[in-house]
Amino acid sequence: MEGAFSYAPAIAAFPLAAFVVALTFGKWMPRKGAIAGIAATAGSLLFSLWMLAAVASGEVYHETLYEWTAGEAAGEVGDGIEFTFGILIDPLSALMLVIVSLVAFLVHIFSLGYMNAEGETGLPRYYAGLGLFTFSMLAFVYADNLLMAFMFFELVGLCSYLLIGFWFRTRSAPSAAKKAFLVTRFGDYFFLIGVVAIAATFGTVAFAGDDSFVAAAETAIADGDTLFGFDAQTWVTITGLLVLGGVLGKSAQFPFHTWLPDAMEGPTTVSALIHAATMVAAGVYLVARMFGYYALSPTALAIIAFVGGFTALFAATMGVVKDDIKQVLAYSTISQYGYMMLGLGVGGYVAGVFHLMNHAFFKALLFLGAGAVIILMHHEQDMWKMGGLKEKAPVTYYTFLAGALALAGIIPFSGFWSKDEILYDALIVGLNEPVIMAAYAMGLVAVFFTGFYTFRMVFLTFHGEPRSEAAEDPHPVGWAVKVPLLTLGVLALVAGVANLAPVAKILGVDIVFLEHWLDGEYGAVEGLTYSAYGELLAYETGVIGSEQLTILVAAGLSLLLAFSGAGLAWKLYNVPEPVAHKERLGSARRTIENNYYQDEYQVWLARGFTLPLSRAADRFDQTVIDGSVNGISTASLFGSSWVKRLQTGIVTNYAALIVAGFIALLVFLGVYGGWF
């Protein structure tokens, strides 16, 4: 399989080519560029599967392809430094390549039914955007160094800006696009400082190998070095947290989550891509990619875990009061990425990656399902105007239900297995670490809310009686919509088989394929395996009674909560004529409906603080600074206006002055020259 890897660049190059083709020739192509995009992502998917097979056969690939630039490193090391583009294909990136290209491929197909069939204008721009998006994400996924990862991370941000703002003739879409870019840029500011700091500290930005910054950091900590005035451990924590800024922005974690719900202004297909496989996934993937670095810093990990647990709960509570089907899904995304952060933060590398994969499938499914609902409903997104779609659109209903069961974490759907594994990992660490215990508790409570909002959405949309004309007479959907839904529906059901950890431990059978995969039992790059990370982690784990009992307690608790949440939704909303029941929230209602005023304070920071400050600076500049410049010129003009009075323009005056001057000169020369 050695030869397979020489085709690795093509995985990203295909969608890049599709971008160029759709942008330049899309107007004249049948389907306005869709075919190019479908062909390109199909190619990427096939090649990614090929890479997966190659890794399964024991090979890995780590190759520098292109030197961007090189020079002398300043700072702590002072040797040469190279900034390169290279490809790293190991179990993690091979898996992610397949996920990304699969979701991108299905989104392209779905777009035929969602965008083309609906007579959209600007389709070449749309498909060009999707192509560039897929390209950036795939290149980010197999980047072999931090700078390259940052560069494509930023390009992912650009693409989300372009696609969220696709309907630029509205007022809201450009505003949402700007917000998405700006909030994530704020996170990326910290990320870029982190990149610069890591490069300046260790003289390398490579993820893997003996000369990686992870290895250099490990050595520095072992040697007790002082870096930039801090001890090595602290400096690793600081730089790790700086990089984390970018992660929190892109993965929409608290307090940078505010852009994501607004991003629903983009086409639903774009939301599917952003939430499942590209933009938002990029943040968490980066933590997994440089997990060895975070493993060196217990503080950074604890912060990741706590922010994750908090975000999981925080976003889930906001999801329960939303009326727009896409808004519910948006908050569920924030919450689910919180779980992944929690998993990674407690050292559950396999669990976090497992949930990243499962979530990619079921969230793509749910968004595409929501897209199908929106087609059915003639572009209505308010769930209170839906109802009764179950019988009229069975394919959409049953696939959506599969996604919902996975999201809510109901056994045996995929989401249950990965979420359970995260919570289990958090619990056993939490038994010794109070902070982690708090994070675990928040994650656990969030399970209840997840079950509730998910099934509230399902019941309101599909059950009961139709509550509008559109719901009574839905628009039919075609094969381009159904095929992606069915594919993802199957995956949402069975993807959990990849890692049945609790079953494995209780029954003692070896069915944790993903763990073996990530542990490099096939192919792996040294230092980038689950067990290598395990050696770096400083966490102690505990059990309640025995390991089996702990597993049962953890799984039982989360299942119980998921069922209660779903059950409550059943009771309240699975009725012929449901009502909102929002008054039951009492005084909390306004706070939750306003999203805890998170948007308000961030908008205030931009509009109420920064903008007036800039206007004040402008006034200061006009009056004080420019005023002094003009003041000096006025003073000199004023002075010269006195001097110029000598210039009367009257010839006799000049003649008199010349004569007077001549006489004065004569007298002067006479006195000093000795004429007299």
Residues that bind another protein (CB under 8 A): 67-69, 71-76, 147, 150-152, 154-155, 158, 161, 165, 168-171, 173-175, 177-178, 181-182, 185-186, 188-189, 192-193, 196-197, 199-200, 228, 606, 610-611, 613-615, 617-618, 621, 625-626, 629, 633
Half-sphere exposure (CA, 13 Å, Cβ side) for 129? 25
CA nearest neighbour of 20 among 116, 121, 132? 132
Collapse the DSSP code of 67 into the 3-class scheme (helix H, G, I; strand E, B; otherwise coil) and give the result. strand
Could you give the 3-state DSSP secondary structure of residue 659?
helix
Q: Report yes or no: 68 and 18 within 8 Å, Cβ to Cβ.
A: no
Nearer to another protein, 161 or 362 (CB): 161
- To another protein, the closest distance from the beta carbon of 51 in angstroms equals 24
**Residue whose token pair is 């990965």:** 418
Residue closer to another protein, measured from CB, 131 or 443: 131
Locate 63 and state its tokens: 């190759």
Q: Is residue 380 a contact partner of residue 538, using CB atoms and an 8 Å limit? A: no
Which residue, 154 or 519, has its beta carbon nearer to another protein?
154
Burial-class residue 391 by CB neighbours within 10 Å (0-12, 13-18, 19+): exposed
> Residue 36 or 180: which CB sits closer to another protein?
180
Nearer to another protein, 197 or 243 (CB): 197
- Tell me how far, at minimum, the Cβ of 221 lies from another protein, in Å: 20
Nearest approach, Cβ of 160 to another protein (angstroms)? 13
Measured from the CB atom, the residue of 196 and 483 that comes closer to another protein is 196
Closest CA to 499 of 512, 518, 488, 484: 512
3-class secondary-structure state, position 93: helix
* Distance in angstroms between the alpha carbons of the first and the last residue of the chain: 114
Q: How far is the CB of 392 from another protein (least distance, A)?
A: 35
Dihedral pair phi/psi, residue 286, rounded to 5°:
-65, -40
The CB-of-462 to another protein minimum distance in angstroms stands at 35
Q: Are 417 and 500 in contact (CB under 8 A)?
A: yes
**What DSSP assignment string belongs to 183-221?**
HHHHHHHHHHHHHHHHHHHHS--BSSSTTSHHHHHHHHH
CB of 95 to another protein, least distance (A): 25
Complex with another protein: residue 432 or 622, whichever CB lies closer: 622
Q: CB 158 → another protein: shortest distance, Å?
A: 6
Closest CB to another protein among residues 538, 625? 625
What string of DSSP letters covers 134-192?
Answer: HHHHHHHHTBSBHHHHHHHHHHHHHHHHHHHTSSTTSSHHHHHHHHHHHHHHHHHHHHH
Given the complex with another protein, which of 150 and 522 has the nearer CB atom? 150
State the nearest-atom distance from the C-beta of 155 to another protein, in Å: 6
d(CA 239, CA 369): 40
Q: Using CA atoms in the order 215, 219, 221, 224, what is the torsion angle rounded to 10 degrees?
A: -160
Q: Which is nearer to another protein, 126 or 181 (CB)?
A: 181
How far apart are CB 67 and another protein at their closest, in Å? 7
Whole-number minimum distance, CB 285 to another protein, in Å?
A: 18
